[in-house]
Amino acid sequence: MDLKALRSRVPAWWADAKLGIFIHWGLFAVPAFAPTDYDITRLQANGERHPFAFSPYAEWYQNSIRFPESPASAFHREHEHGRPYEAFVEPFLAGLEQWDPDEWADRFAAAGARYVVLVSKHHDGYCLWPTEVPHPTRSGWNTERDVVGELADAVRRRGMRFGLYYSGGLDWTFESHPIGTFADLLAAMPTGAYLDYAEAQVRELIDRYRPSVLWNDISWPTTQRRLNDLFGHYFEQVPDGVVNDRWLTPVKGMGVLKTAPVRRVVDLAAARAMRGGELVPPKPRFFQYRTPEFASFSHIERTPWECVRGMDKGFGYNRTSTEADYLTRDELLRSIVDIASKGGNLLLNVGPRGVDARIPEEQLTRMGWMAERAVANDRGLVGTRPWIRAEDRSVEGHEVRYTAWRDTVWAHCWLPERTSAVGTLTLPFTATPTTVVVAAEEAPLSFVAQPDGITIDLPADLDTAVFTVGITGAAAAPGATGRSS
C-alpha cells in the first residue's frame, strides 16, 4: 500500500459531505456532569494548576473525579456518594434496552449528515461492541449488545457513511494516573500490553464493521512501522476509507516527561499554543485530514480538514449545560457555511443520555434547525469546493461566504433578522450576457448590473438568517478581493 499517495488526500465522498455527526455515548453519560465555566482552550491558556480537572468535557468525568478539589469530584461526592466509576455500567445497560438506532439514524439523515462517527471506546476503555480481544486485567468491560453493528446498519440503510472513533492514546484501564496538565496527558499514554491490545481491537473493528472513517484520538501507542501495516490493512478492507490526523507515534526520550523540569516546559508550551484560542493537533507522519477542535481556520485550507465540536462546550451529555452554553441557531447555521467556504467539513457532536439512550431535546432542536436548512441549501454546500476566496462583504455591508460547484458560485449571505427590510443585495461580480442568478431552491432571481457589482432583488417573503444565491456566468469584479471581512 502506497501511503504517500494518500497523504493529505481524501476520497470524493468525504470532501463532498460537509456535515458529519459525531456521537459520544458511554458510561460517562450516566453521571453526565462537567463544569461549564470555561472552554477547554481557555483553561489551558489561563495557567490553571490542573486544567484538565476543570474540563467542560463530561466524557472526562472519570479523570476529573480523581482531583478532590474539582467540581466533578464535589458533584460525585454529593450525588453519586463516591461510588466507583464501574457502578455506572448497570444503569447504562438498563438505558441501552430503550435504545432505538433507527430513530437516531433518521434524525441524522434529516439534518443533512452524510456520515456518522461513533465513539466505540473512549478513554475509560469501555467498549460498545462485544469485542473478542481479551483485556489482560478487566474482563467484560464492554456491552454484549452490538451497539456499533446496529448503528452501522441503521446509518447505512439511510445512505450515510459510517465511521468509528477509537481512543488509541489513552485507556484508563491500563494507565489510571490522574491527568491534570498536558504533560500528564503525554505521560499517561499506556505502554506494555496495551500496544497489542489496541492494535488487535482496531483490526477487529476494521474487519467486522468496515468503517468508512477511522478516527483515532490523542496518539497511537505502537511504532510507525506497525501503524503503517495497520493502515495498509485498513485500506485493503476499505479502499475509499479515510483516517484523521491524531496518530502520533512514540518518539525516543518520552521517559523524560516524568521529570519536573521537562513537564514544566511542556505545560508552558501548551499554554502558549492555546492562547490563540485554537486546539489543532500536531501533524503525524501519515494523515488525510486535519481535525481542529472547537476551532475553524480563518482562510481557505488546501489540506482537507474537519472542525470537530459539540453543540455545547463538550462532547458527552452534560446535565448542567444551559441554553446559554449551546450554539444558537445563527451560530450553528453560519458555522457550517463558513467551514465549507474554507474547505472543511463540520463533524458536529451528539451526546445522548446514558440513563435512557435518548438524545436530549436541546440537541434535537439544533438538528431540526439543520433539517430546515438542508432541503433548501444542499446545492450550495454538498459537493461544493472553495472558490477563489472564502469571504466578502456585500455593498450593503452583509457578510458573505462562497462555495463553488462547476461554473456556479454560491454566495451565502448573512442577513439581519428582519430580512423583509433588506430588499436588495449587491455582490461584487461582473455580469455577462449569460449570467443567471438563482436562489438555493433554483428559483430565478432578477438582478441589475451595476458598476460595483450585481444588485439582486430578494424575495419579499424571505425569512432566513443565511440566504444562498447561485451565480452562473459571471466573474469576480475587479478589486473585489479587497472586500474581505
Digit-coded pLDDT (tens) for 232-241: 999 999 999 9
What's the pLDDT tens digit per position in 105-149?
999 999 999 999 999 999 999 999 999 999 999 999 999 999 999
Portion of the chain with pLDDT greater than 90, in percent: 76
Q: Write down the pLDDT at residue 264.
A: 60
What's the pLDDT tens digit per position in 268-308?
555 555 545 567 888 999 999 999 999 999 999 999 999 99
Q: Write down the pLDDT at residue 275.
A: 47
Q: With 60 as the cut, is the pLDDT of residue 39 above it?
A: yes
Model confidence band, residue 442 (pLDDT cutoffs 50, 70, 90): confident
| Residue among 152, 95, 89 at smallest CA distance from 120 | 152
Query: Is-contact 468 439, C-beta < 8 A?
Result: yes
Q: Is 485 helix (H, G, I), strand (E, B) or coil?
A: coil
Q: Write down the pLDDT at residue 396.
A: 87
Grid cell 502558549 is found at 272
* Number of domains composing the chain: 2
Model confidence band, residue 174 (pLDDT cutoffs 50, 70, 90): very high
Per-residue cell: 88: 455506572
Q: With 80 as the cut, is the pLDDT of residue 253 above it?
A: no
DSSP structure class, residue 283 = P
Q: Are residues 156 and 292 in the same domain?
A: yes
| Residue among 351, 336, 314, 479 at smallest CA distance from 412 | 336
What's the pLDDT tens digit per position in 188-224?
999 999 999 999 999 999 999 999 999 999 999 999 9
Q: Are residues 375 and 410 in the same domain?
A: no
DSSP structure class, residue 158 = T
Residue 434 belongs to some domain of the structure: yes
In terms of pLDDT, which residue wins out, 285 or 460? 285
Query: Is-contact 418 425, C-beta < 8 A?
Result: no
Per-residue cell: 420: 423583509
Average pLDDT of every residue of the chain:
91
CATH of residue 406: 2.60.40.1180
Q: Are residues 415 and 337 in the same domain?
A: no
Residue 386 belongs to some domain of the structure: no
Model confidence band, residue 484 (pLDDT cutoffs 50, 70, 90): very low
Last residue of a domain, one of 380, 403, 418: 380
Q: Are residues 411 and 327 in the same domain?
A: no
Model confidence band, residue 378 (pLDDT cutoffs 50, 70, 90): confident
Q: Are residues 278 and 409 in the same domain?
A: no
Amino acid at 326: Y
Last residue of a domain, one of 360, 380, 400: 380
Q: Write down the pLDDT at residue 440.
A: 83
pTM (2 decimals)? 0.94
Query: Is-contact 171 195, C-beta < 8 A?
Result: no
Model confidence band, residue 59 (pLDDT cutoffs 50, 70, 90): very high
Q: Are residues 358 and 429 in the same domain?
A: no
Last residue of a domain, one of 352, 380, 408: 380
Residue 385 belongs to some domain of the structure: no
Q: How far apart are CA 162 and CA 148, in angstroms?
A: 10
Residue 274 belongs to some domain of the structure: yes
Q: Are residues 457 and 326 in the same domain?
A: no
Q: Are residues 292 and 419 in the same domain?
A: no
In terms of pLDDT, which residue wins out, 68 or 480? 68
Q: With 50 as the cut, is the pLDDT of residue 483 above it?
A: no
Pick from 73-87, 152-166, 442-456: least confident = 442-456
Q: Write down the pLDDT at residue 374.
A: 79
Q: Enumerate residues 6+ apart whose C-beta is below 8 A from 167.
A: 119, 121, 122, 123, 125, 216, 217, 218
Model confidence band, residue 423 (pLDDT cutoffs 50, 70, 90): confident
Q: Write down the pLDDT at residue 270.
A: 53
Q: With 70 as the cut, is the pLDDT of residue 361 above it?
A: yes
Q: Write down the pLDDT at residue 214.
A: 98
Model confidence band, residue 408 (pLDDT cutoffs 50, 70, 90): very high
Domain residues for the domain of 445 are: 391-483
CATH of residue 227: 3.20.20.80
Q: Are residues 368 and 416 in the same domain?
A: no
Residue 184 belongs to some domain of the structure: yes
Q: With 70 as the cut, is the pLDDT of residue 242 above it?
A: yes
Q: With 0-12 CB in 10 A as exposed, 13-18 as middle and 19+ as buried, what is 304?
A: buried
Neighbours of 482 (CB within 10 A): 8
What's the pLDDT tens digit per position in 316-356?
999 999 999 999 999 999 999 999 999 999 999 999 999 99
Q: Are residues 466 and 345 in the same domain?
A: no
- Give the burial string for 416-448 (b: 16+ CB within 10 Å, else e): eeebeebeebbbbbbbeeebebbbbeeeebebe
Q: Are residues 165 and 25 in the same domain?
A: yes
Q: Are residues 327 and 423 in the same domain?
A: no
- The number of residues making up the chain comes to 485
